[in-house]
Structure 1
Amino acid sequence: MGTWDVGLFDNDTAADFGGTLDDAAEAERPGLVRDALVRVLDAEDPLDQHLAVEAVAAAALVAAQGPGGRPVTSPYGPDLPVPELPAGLRDLAVRALDRVAAEPSELRELWAETVEYPRWLRGLDRLRRVLAFPAPQPVARSWARIDAWTRRHAPASYALLAPPADPVEVEAAQDAMGVRFPADLLESLACHDGITQWANLLPGQPPMSVAGMLAHWRMCVEIAGDDPDLTQPHGDGEDDEPWWHPQWIPWAQSDGDSQVIDMREGPGRGRLGTASHDETGHFGDGWPSLAVYLTAVADALDQGTEADEMTPYLTPQGELWWDSPGETELNGEPLTPAPAAGGASGRG
């Protein structure tokens, strides 16, 4: 297999797969994508490298059609569009990627012998993460589910949710920042103007009030100033970011580290990332939008599952607490796994 880079289509087998899709009738292309994924799951050990490469390419095409997916723009990928793929292929693609990355896999073994192995693994991890994003619900619906769950199971946390933000204050903050807030942030603020005091209410940083968002934004803009070490990306890769950018909206914050919404022009507009107080910004393990993030949080509470690699628990004081899976105590007191809503997702 001729390989010239770590891109998902940067090898002969993947490029041939793209050509096969172009040669097929439009109605046949979804079936070819599915077949590439199924062949990996049905294969005997060790997994053949060519089957693995086709499955990774197919997973990239599936991911491109979902939340946070990036279009396949490689010149070695298919030139013709792939019709809308069934939603069920997302789970199939995740399972196929897990099979490719597990042992025994010829493709994994080949990459493990190169200096690009960590970069190849990061590409698979990012692709898998995108495939696992839920389809976003309206933000108001996600907050209604979070509210209902905390009201029932964590009343101490529910009591800390602030009422809706003042629309006049929201408009003034946008004018001061020179950035228009995305629709999902406006919808979130119309539900809650952050929380009234610090609480571990979300798997990431706790949401701020409009006043808090503006104050944190002003502080970061003032610190960054015109210093190129803080305002310019470090490196020239697609994941290299500055310490701060004035078109980042800090919507959640704790100990100086903020979860920001990127409002720069481009395909990443509206995505969530992290701006740490002592590191550059980072979006590689973020979320495609606030709407997707809050949907995942609501799903995790309703289903008793993880969100952002964190699990919901309850403290003896009736508080919601997010922590790593498998934790049993906090400061010497027991943590109880948060109860699921009887298997219902609340998505109705």
Structure 2
Amino acid sequence: MGTWDIGPFNSDTTSDFHASVAEVAEADRPGLVRDALVRVLDADAPFGQHMVVEAVAAAALVAAQHAGGRPVTSPYGPDLPVPTLPAGLREIAALALDRVEAKAFEASELRELSAETDRCPHWLRSVQLLRRVLTFPTPQPVSHSWARIDSWMQRHAPASYALLAPPADAVEVEAAQETMGVRFPADLLDSLACHNGLTKWANVVPDQPPMSVAGILDHWRMCVEIAGDDSDLSEPHGDEEPWWHPQWIPWAQSDGDSQIIDMREGPGQGRLGSTAHDGRAYFDDGWPSLAVYLTAVADALDNGGNVDGVTPYLTTEGALWWTSSGRTDLNGSPLTRAPRTETETETETTPPHP
């Protein structure tokens, strides 16, 4: 069956697909990418290996032009540049990957191939990560996202809103950067200019709660001291990240587990990842930037939906609580689904029917 590997570009079929893309005029290349995606959506399952692999490769080309997408560096990737692809292809690519994940292994070719290799789960994982990139929102300015979050909490979760700290002191921010030897990215500076973390622990965002400048510095110092010169903690192992790196900024933390901003040089600079007190850091399920993450949080509050599999709810005390969808109580007290600003606005502005 030829070469088949875990990446979206690592196959002979992919190489053939990109050879066909290179044969047409540059203006016609977006059309070929779209055709590869639409074939999976229009075909009856089961569909063949070539159709699936081409669709995933096309989706990877779309993802590469979106925030958080990985650049195309595989030798199986296109030799010639792909022009900017239409924004509408993101949704088509995400739908195509949904169908691939649901139906691809109904095809006998892929079933047989997966039986011959242990790489199948890794390939499916690469498909899931591609889809995640395709659904990242277009980032808004951090100050705008926080304004949306603040407005929603003022109206629906006043108990949580009351715990948001005022803006950080610029002198303290500068001193922390000097001590850490790491310059904060613009979106973290903008976030701290809105809120210097929280005055006490609260579940105001889907992951760990944001910290103050002092909290960021204290947690960073602790992790740097623990890692020290211990190579088991401070150095990567193969494809695995280290437990801690001094150029990681812990912007949010709870019980020793933190959401980190990677400030190492390279294409991943500014991305969000996670590190646990008892495990290595990882970025695969992270976010391309703090700005994208806060945009997703604001979108979920205003329009409904979830972030990283958790949904906003309200407690009986008027606090925001993020948890798995369908949960009805918190420690015996009822939870109610958080209202959507979009729905309320429509209700308020639409006149009643006569």
Question: What's the TM-score, normalizing by structure 1?
Answer: 0.96
Q: In structure 2, do the counterparts of structure 1 residues 267 and 75 end up closer, same or farther at CA, with 3 Å as the change threshold?
A: same
**Bigger share in helix:** 2
Tell me, yes or no, if structure 1 residue 220 matches structure 2 residue 223: yes
* Residue 124 (structure 1) aligns with: 127
Letter in 1 for 2:205: L
Letter in 2 for 1:63: A
Residues 78-98 of structure 1, C-alpha deviation per residue, up to 9 Å, x if partnerless? 111111111111111111111
C-alpha distance in 2, partners of 1:272/1:111?
35
Q: In structure 2, do the counterparts of structure 1 residues 25 and 230 end up closer, same or farther at CA, with 3 Å as the change threshold?
A: same
Q: In structure 2, do the counterparts of structure 1 residues 92 and 108 end up closer, same or farther at CA, with 3 Å as the change threshold?
A: farther
Structure 1 unaligned spans of 5+: none
* Residue 176 (structure 1) aligns with: 179
C-alpha distance in 1, partners of 2:301/2:166?
21
Tell me, yes or no, if structure 1 residue 302 matches structure 2 residue 302: yes
Q: In structure 2, do the counterparts of structure 1 residues 285 and 344 end up closer, same or farther at CA, with 3 Å as the change threshold?
A: farther
Letter in 1 for 2:232: D
Structure 2 unaligned spans of 5+: 346-354
Give, in angstroms, the shift of residue 34 of structure 1: 0.6
* Residue 330 (structure 2) aligns with: 330
Out of 114-123 and 186-195, give the one that drifted further.
114-123
Q: In structure 2, do the counterparts of structure 1 residues 43 and 344 end up closer, same or farther at CA, with 3 Å as the change threshold?
A: farther
Give, in angstroms, the shift of residue 2 of structure 1: 1.3
* Residue 109 (structure 1) aligns with: 111
Question: What's the TM-score, normalizing by structure 2?
Answer: 0.94
Q: 2:168 aligns with which of 156, 161, 165?
A: 165
* Residue 245 (structure 2) aligns with: 245
Is the Cα contact below 8 Å between 2:198 and 2:209 reproduced in 1? yes
After TM superposition, where is structure 1 displaced by more than 4 Å over at least 4 residues in a row? Answer: none
Q: 1:148 aligns with which of 148, 151, 159?
A: 151
Identical residues among aligned pairs (%):
70
C-alpha distance in 1, partners of 2:177/2:143?
21
Is the Cα contact below 8 Å between 1:66 and 1:131 reproduced in 2? yes
Q: In structure 2, do the counterparts of structure 1 residues 110 and 149 end up closer, same or farther at CA, with 3 Å as the change threshold?
A: farther
Is the Cα contact below 8 Å between 1:262 and 1:271 reproduced in 2? yes
Residues 231-270 of structure 1, C-alpha deviation per residue, up to 9 Å, x if partnerless? 0112x12xx1011000000000000000000000111110
Aligned length: 342
Give, in angstroms, the shift of residue 111 of structure 1: 4.9
Residues 75-134 of structure 1, C-alpha deviation per residue, up to 9 Å, x if partnerless? 111111111111111111111111111135426524542211111111111111111111
Q: In structure 2, do the counterparts of structure 1 residues 110 and 63 end up closer, same or farther at CA, with 3 Å as the change threshold?
A: farther
C-alpha distance in 1, partners of 2:343/2:101?
30
* Residue 265 (structure 1) aligns with: 265
* Residue 190 (structure 2) aligns with: 187
Is the Cα contact below 8 Å between 2:263 and 2:270 reproduced in 1? yes
Is the Cα contact below 8 Å between 1:102 and 1:108 reproduced in 2? no
Q: In structure 2, do the counterparts of structure 1 residues 162 and 108 end up closer, same or farther at CA, with 3 Å as the change threshold?
A: farther
Letter in 1 for 2:272: L
Which residues in structure 2 correspond to 1:23-172 (within 5 Å)? 23-103=23-103, 105-106=106-107, 108-113=110-115, 114-172=117-175
